[in-house]
Amino acid sequence: MKYSKIIFTIIFFCLFVTSFRTVAAQDATDSSATKEALPKRIDRILKEKQPEVAGALAEISIKKRGFVGPIERVSATSLTIATHKGPLVLPLDETVKVLKSNKEISITDLSVDNLVVAIGTEIDGTFMPKYILSSGTSEKPKVRMVLLGTLTGIEKSTLTLKTRGTNETKEVTVNKSTEYQNSDGSEISLKMLGEDLTILVIATDDEDGLTATTIRSLAPLSDPKKS
Amino acid sequence: MKKEILLAIIIGLAFGLFITYGLYRVRKATQSAKTQPVSTTAPTASPGNDPSSALLTILNPEDNTVQEEPSTTVTGISQPNAVLVLFANDEEFITTADGSGNFSFTVDLKSGGTILTVHALNENGETFAATRTIVVSSLLSQPAESASPAAETK
């Protein structure tokens, strides 16, 4: 019985060690083969992707950029533009060209409130202008409003609207330029609009108040003449 | 005695194989984790902080883009069925977002700068606006010496 126990233990141990070593040897072979192949694969992929990566890197670091806005401040060395995100100070030197109506002009020809377009490149987040394009005009863009609400009153030249959400009452002037649209965008006449209709109003806002440029019904309307 | 030895061999083989298979699986798992392909492209930032919660996110064009093509497609995400109005120069365009909130406008651009403003209105009358500036110009594509001061401003 003693012999059998000893033999049992020895055989068990031998089998375990042998099988473990076999697997370890197999893994070592795989691992060394992988280690040898890996640098070659890396080199090949690097060579293949090099032009792509170089192009992408150049694109990331240098971008064409353009800014639009009226001039806030101008001096011999800098120009400040009021962009929609806030003021942008542009450094000026002899390499920056200032153009107006096909001709190169001097920076001193620019004045405050002139609408300009600055074109240049952005390198690592810093914008460097190359061209300043001046329109020569100081016209401020119109203030545009978009309203959604219910029609509560219709007169010849005025519509009264109760805005959705805020429940404000707004008077909107309509004129010959005002376009009336059905829900699908097709043109309709003012006569087709009725009270309690939900409409979208696009208007300009100035010292004279709101003047509608487009009024669109959000519910489909049918022309009584056609039906 | 012979029976005991045979039994010991079978048990030893089975146990050895079981452990070997376990070790093999562990090795494979650790190796595949090490040899996972690594992305070579940098992750791109998603437009807006949280597009799913925003009422209006413009995906295209990027702000302050300079391009030579005289048209662009303004695309974005808003709330489902929201009414969208785009102002480009003196023109206005109206559309409605689809059931997923996606919208798209195709706009012709003049040479020079254009400010694109999109207004989104949801069913509650809440309005959100987003602005993009786009410049149509070929000046930057020309060599500095040959760049003629063409009429680029509106």
Helix or strand (DSSP H, E) at B107: strand B102-108
Q: Which residue has the higher pLDDT, B101 or B10?
A: B101
* Sign (positive or negative) of CA dihedral A188, A194, A198, A203: positive
Q: Return the closest-CA partner of residue B94 out of B114, B76, B58, B120.
A: B120
Give the pLDDT of residue B53.
46
CA distance A4 to chain B (A): 7
Q: Return the closest-CA partner of residue A219 out of A196, A202, A190, A203.
A: A196
Please report residues of A whose CB lies closer than 8 A to that of B153: 99-101, 116-117, 133-136
Dist CA B75 CA B100 (whole Å):
13
What is the bridge-based pairing of β-strands A209-217 and B71-78?
unpaired
Q: Which range is least confidently modeled, A8-17, A63-72, B6-15?
A: A8-17
Q: Which of A5, A148, A162 to mutate to test the interface with B (most CBs of B within 10 A)?
A: A148
Q: How large is the average pLDDT for residues A95-121?
A: 91
CA distance B120 to chain A (A): 9
Residue A65: helix, strand or coil by DSSP? strand
Q: Which residue has the higher pLDDT, B75 or B29?
A: B75
* Sign (positive or negative) of CA dihedral A82, A88, A93, A99: negative
Return the percentage of chain A with pLDDT > 90, whole number.
Answer: 54
Query: Where exactly are the structural domains of chain A?
Result: 63-138, 143-221
- Whether A63-138 shares its CATH topology with A143-221 is answered yes
For residue B140, give the nearest of A16, A119, A213 by CB distance: A119
Give the pLDDT of residue A40.
82
B60-93 residue pLDDT tens: 999 999 999 999 999 999 999 999 999 998 899 9
ipTM of the prediction greater than 0.95, yes or no: no
pLDDT of B35 > 60? The answer is: no
Residue A34, CB-side half-sphere exposure with 13 Å CA sphere: 10
pLDDT of A1 > 60? The answer is: no
Using the beta-carbon criterion (under 8 Å), do B135 and A117 form an inter-chain contact? yes
Q: How confident is the model at residue A169 (pLDDT cuts 50, 70, 90)?
A: very high
Q: How confident is the model at residue B149 (pLDDT cuts 50, 70, 90)?
A: very low
**Amino acid letter, B119:** H
Which residues have C-beta within 8 Å of that of residue A139, sequence separation ≥ 6?
A115
Q: How confident is the model at residue A53 (pLDDT cuts 50, 70, 90)?
A: confident
* B95 φ, ψ (degrees, to nearest 5): -150, 175
Using the beta-carbon criterion (under 8 Å), do A8 and B41 form an inter-chain contact? no
Which CATH number is associated with domain A63-138? Answer: 2.40.50.140
User: Which fold would CATH assign to domain A143-221?
Assistant: OB fold (Dihydrolipoamide Acetyltransferase, E2P) (2.40.50)
**Of A13-17, A67-71, A120-124, B88-92, which has the strongest mean pLDDT?**
A67-71
Query: How many contacts (CB atoms, under 8 Å) link A and B?
Result: 159
Distances (CA, A) of A213 to A43, A178, A180, A183, B25: 63, 5, 9, 16, 72
Residue A38: helix, strand or coil by DSSP? helix
**Of A42-51, A122-131, B95-104, which has the strongest mean pLDDT?**
B95-104
- Contact in structure between B74 and B118 (CB atoms under 8 Å): yes
CA distance A11 to chain B (A): 7
Please report residues of A whose CB lies closer than 8 A to that of B17: 19
Q: Which range is least confidently modeled, A40-54, A198-212, B105-119?
A: A40-54
Q: Return the closest-CA partner of residue A41 out of B38, B24, B53.
A: B38
A4-18 residue pLDDT tens: 777 778 777 767 766
CA distance A196 to chain B (A): 16
For residue B153, give the nearest of A85, A121, A133 by CB distance: A133
B41-59 residue pLDDT tens: 323 334 444 444 468 999 9
Q: Which residue has the higher pLDDT, A23 or B3?
A: B3
Give the pLDDT of residue B43.
30
- Contact in structure between A68 and B131 (CB atoms under 8 Å): no
For residue A27, give the nearest of B27, B42, B125 by CB distance: B27
